[in-house]
Amino acid sequence: MQISEAESRVITVLWERGSATAEEVIGVLKDQSDWQDATVKTLLNRLLNKGAIAAEAEGRRYRYRPLLKQSDWVLEESRGLLDRWFDGRLAPLVAHFNAHGELSRNDIDELRKLIEELDHGK
């Protein structure tokens, strides 16, 4: 499933709310973008045609709901990045951030805690 940047912003609203009408999506996005209503409708329609979301009639309008799962989509994106640039491994990614001074004390702490847990668990 391939969705564009703009489409991902729309489906993100559905991911956050579970489901929504076009009106609701438009409302949410009005705060985050300066898209016209028509733009959001187009994007909803494209997502619908791609099968990334579904629509069920609710009175005179539709209620939209994601079919594509956020965690799957995010995993695909993440794996793509990792495979293309980091030999599919996580450590080189982390090292890359560090090498660019983009690894905060907090990042390190969080990672250490997480790794400890995983390490014991496995």
**32 near DNA (CB under 7 A):** no
Which part of the chain contacts DNA (CB under 7 A), choosing from 19-27, 70-78, 82-90, 102-110?
Answer: 19-27
User: What is the distance between the alpha carbons of residues 42 and 54, in angstroms, rounded to a whole number?
Assistant: 14
Q: Which does 54 bind (CB under 5 to 8 A by kind): DNA, a copy of itself, none?
A: none
User: What is the distance between the alpha carbons of residues 76 and 18, in angstroms, rounded to a whole number?
Assistant: 21
Position among 21, 65, 86, 93 found at the interface with DNA (CB under 7 A): 21
**90 near a copy of itself (CB under 8 A):** yes
Q: Which residues contact 75 (CB under 8 A, 6 or more apart)?
A: none
Which part of the chain contacts DNA (CB under 7 A), choosing from 39-47, 75-83, 95-103, 109-117?
Answer: 39-47
Residue with tokens 């997480």: 114
User: What is the distance between the alpha carbons of residues 48 and 39, in angstroms, rounded to a whole number?
Assistant: 14
Q: Report the candidate in 55, 66, 73 with the shortest Cα–Cα distance to residue 11.
A: 66
Residue with tokens 């912003």: 9
**111 near a copy of itself (CB under 8 A):** yes
Q: Which does 69 bind (CB under 5 to 8 A by kind): DNA, a copy of itself, none?
A: none
Position among 18, 31, 60, 101 found at the interface with DNA (CB under 7 A): 60
